[in-house]
A and B are shown apart, each in its own frame.
Chain A
Amino acid sequence: MEITVLVQTTDRAFEILEKARDEARELLYSSAKLTSETKSLVEKREARAIFSDARQKRLAIRNFIITTFVLFAFWILLSGRFDAFHLILGIICTLLVSYLSHDLLFANIRVGDIRIRARRFFAAGPWFLGQIFSANLHVAYLALSPKMPIDPQIIRFKTKLESDISWVALANSITLTPGTITIDIREGEFFVHALDRKVAYDLSTGEMEDKIAHVFMEADHIYIQDVLDVSRIFGALK
């Protein structure tokens, strides 16, 4: 009787021991797995940090160079003297200014699209001039007609543009067009004062916004317009 009890207790003791061993092994495995996971995660993060750091540095250098060239062109425009002394002074001054404020002029520009933007900007110029001309005629008509059929109103719309510079470009082109004035931009929402219903309607069609989005390569216009551009080049090649 006593022997059977003894055997039973030893059996149970062995069982408990085995269970404990299994648990310990599992714990060990999971901890090893966890450390390897965190290690890989940390490595990945470090690699990403290094990558983005290098990218930032490259961007800063590129911005510095472009700013220097733009400012040097401005200096030549101001100075108008082409002797070596003044040109060297200009180079020193533009380098100094670009060192001071290279992060200002081209702050929010993505990689590799400055040339496309500049081309599109100049291509969009005539359309804006035409718009301003026709709006001028309309406002002149409003001012000169005896009844003066104005209907002042403030319109509010949410823009689909993303960067600050395109917001400012849109706001300034709205203000530049006679009859409409941008009052404020609050979190992507434009408050525009319009002189009458026609002007307000012209604005709310969003054609100007589309043009700005095209110039600054934003929103979904990029894809459609890029396809159109490419198709034209493809046709020329053919």
Chain B
Amino acid sequence: MISITDDIIIRAVARILIPFIQVYALYVIMHGHHSPGGGFQGGVILGASFILYLITHGLEEAKEKMSELKAGLLSTFGILLYSGIGLLCLIMGRNYLDYGGLSTILKVVPAQARSLGILGIEIGVGITVMAIMFSVFFDISTGGILPEDEEDLGVNR
């Protein structure tokens, strides 16, 4: 289990950098349709910020910010957003993920509807990738056994 690091420089610098990393990740996600980047890249950066917090501040504190339950719920929410937008296009009589069909709901011209649709898709992808990245690292770092499980099972490591 990862506990809080005793190196004060790493801890303090991580503490100051994490909010900026998160804003940068959201910038990469939100500007995916204008500049390089997108949902996957931004999601990875966002996940990395949480992983940095876990490494520097330990498992106990990291669980308050992002627990396994939250990560699981967020990953499914991202997929729901993705497939929901796709299905909405299907319901509007277009192909799956053909965002032009959203123009009647959003009351904008089809070109702008496509822009907004791809933004929604990227947000969904970003959320899922972030949650999955975090949960993969979480599982590896704990070896699949949480502290409360250890008490239940009587596992000593």
Q: Which residues of A contact B (CB under 8 A)?
A: 67, 71, 74-75, 78-79, 81, 86, 89-90, 93-94, 96-98, 100-101, 104-105, 107, 164-165, 167-168, 171-172, 182, 184-185
Q: Give chain B nearest CB distance to A15 CB in angstroms.
A: 64
Known contacts A79-B31, A101-B65, A104-B15, A167 near B23 by CB under 8 Å = no
In the complex, identify which listed stretch (B4-12, B71-79, B136-144) lies at the interface while the others stay far away: B4-12
Asked whether A78 lies within 8 Å of B15 as measured between CB atoms, the reply is no
**C-alpha spacing A90/B26, complex, angstroms:** 9
A and B contact pairs by CB, cutoff 8 A, 5 listed: A71-B19, A75-B23, A78-B27, A104-B18, A167-B12
Residues of chain A lying within 8 A (CB to CB) of residue B9: 167-168, 171-172, 182, 185
The contact of B30 among A89, A98, A168, by CB within 8 Å, is A89
Q: Give chain A nearest CB distance to B14 CB in angstroms.
A: 9
**C-alpha spacing A172/B27, complex, angstroms:** 28
Residues of chain B lying within 8 A (CB to CB) of residue A171: 9
Is B103 on the interface with A (CB-CB < 8 A)?
no
Known contacts A75-B27, A93-B27, A100 near B22 by CB under 8 Å = yes
**C-alpha spacing A188/B90, complex, angstroms:** 63
Residues of chain B lying within 8 A (CB to CB) of residue A184: 7
Number of A-B contacts (CB under 8 A): 64
Task: Enumerate B38-89 residues with CB–CB distance to A below 8 Å.
Answer: 65
**C-alpha spacing A203/B6, complex, angstroms:** 25
Known contacts A71-B20, A185-B8, A97 near B15 by CB under 8 Å = no
By beta carbon, the residue of chain A nearest B119 is A89
Residues of chain B lying within 8 A (CB to CB) of residue A78: 23-24, 27
Is B105 on the interface with A (CB-CB < 8 A)?
no
**C-alpha spacing A231/B30, complex, angstroms:** 51
What interface size band does chain B fall in?
Answer: 20 to 34
**C-alpha spacing A67/B15, complex, angstroms:** 13
Is B153 on the interface with A (CB-CB < 8 A)?
no
Q: Give chain A nearest CB distance to B139 CB in angstroms.
A: 22
Asked whether A164 lies within 8 Å of B8 as measured between CB atoms, the reply is yes
**C-alpha spacing A230/B7, complex, angstroms:** 38
Closest 8 A/B residue pairs (Cβ): A93-B26, A168-B12, A97-B22, A78-B27, A164-B12, A104-B15, A101-B19, A71-B23
Residues of chain A lying within 8 A (CB to CB) of residue B19: 67, 71, 97-98, 101, 104-105
**C-alpha spacing A38/B23, complex, angstroms:** 51
Residues of chain A lying within 8 A (CB to CB) of residue B8: 164, 167-168, 185
The contact of B12 among A90, A165, A182, by CB within 8 Å, is A165
Residues of chain B lying within 8 A (CB to CB) of residue A107: 15
Asked whether B23 lies within 8 Å of A93 as measured between CB atoms, the reply is yes
Residues of chain A lying within 8 A (CB to CB) of residue B15: 104-105, 107
Q: Give chain A nearest CB distance to B62 CB in angstroms.
A: 12
Residues of chain A lying within 8 A (CB to CB) of residue B30: 86, 89-90, 93
Q: Give chain B nearest CB distance to A168 CB in angstroms.
A: 4
Residues of chain A lying within 8 A (CB to CB) of residue B18: 101, 104
Residues of chain B lying within 8 A (CB to CB) of residue A90: 30
Asked whether A97 lies within 8 Å of B31 as measured between CB atoms, the reply is no
By beta carbon, the residue of chain A nearest B64 is A103
Residues of chain B lying within 8 A (CB to CB) of residue A75: 23, 27
Is B155 on the interface with A (CB-CB < 8 A)?
no
**C-alpha spacing A96/B46, complex, angstroms:** 12
11 more A-B residue pairs beyond the given contacts A74-B20, A78-B24, with a C-beta to C-beta distance below 8 A: A71-B20, A74-B23, A78-B23, A81-B34, A97-B23, A100-B65, A101-B22, A101-B65, A164-B12, A167-B8, A184-B7
